[in-house]
Amino acid sequence: MPDSAIEAVVFDLDGVIVDSEHVWDAAREALARERGGRWHESAQQAMMGMSSVEWSRYMHDVIGLKDTPEEISSEVVRRLEATYREELPLIDGATEAVARLAEHWPLGLASSSNREIIDLVLELSGLDRVFRVTVSSEEVPRGKPAPDVYLEAARCLGANPERSAAVEDSRNGILSARAAGMRVVAIPNPRFPPGEEALATADVLIPSINELTPETVERNEHPRG
Q: What does pTM read for this prediction? A: 0.91
Q: Which CATH code, of 3.40.50.10540, 3.50.30.60, 3.40.50.1000, 3.30.420.40, is assigned to 8-19+90-218? A: 3.40.50.1000
Closest CA to 127 of 111, 144, 143: 111
Query: Which residues pair with residue 9 across a beta bridge?
Result: 107, 165
Q: What is the pLDDT of residue 43?
A: 92
Pairwise CA distance, residues 8 & 164, whole Å: 5
- What's the maximum distance between 2 C-alpha atoms anywhere in the chain? 58
Q: Collapsing DSSP states into helix, strand and coil, what is residue 108?
A: strand
188 upstream amide cis, omega within 30 of 0: no
Q: What is the pLDDT of residues 155-203, one digit of tens each?
A: 999 999 999 999 999 999 999 999 999 999 999 998 889 999 999 999 9
End-to-end CA distance of the chain: 25
The class of domain 21-86 in CATH terms is mainly alpha
Q: What is the pLDDT of residue 49?
A: 79
Tell me which of 22-31, 37-46, 124-133, 206-215 is least confident: 37-46
Q: Where in the chain is the domain with CATH 3.40.50.1000?
A: 8-19+90-218
Q: Collapsing DSSP states into helix, strand and coil, what is residue 147?
A: coil
Q: Collapsing DSSP states into helix, strand and coil, what is residue 185?
A: strand
Kindly state the average pLDDT of the residues 7-12.
98
Q: What is the pLDDT of residues 29-82, one digit of tens each?
A: 999 999 999 999 889 888 987 889 999 999 999 999 999 999 999 999 999 999
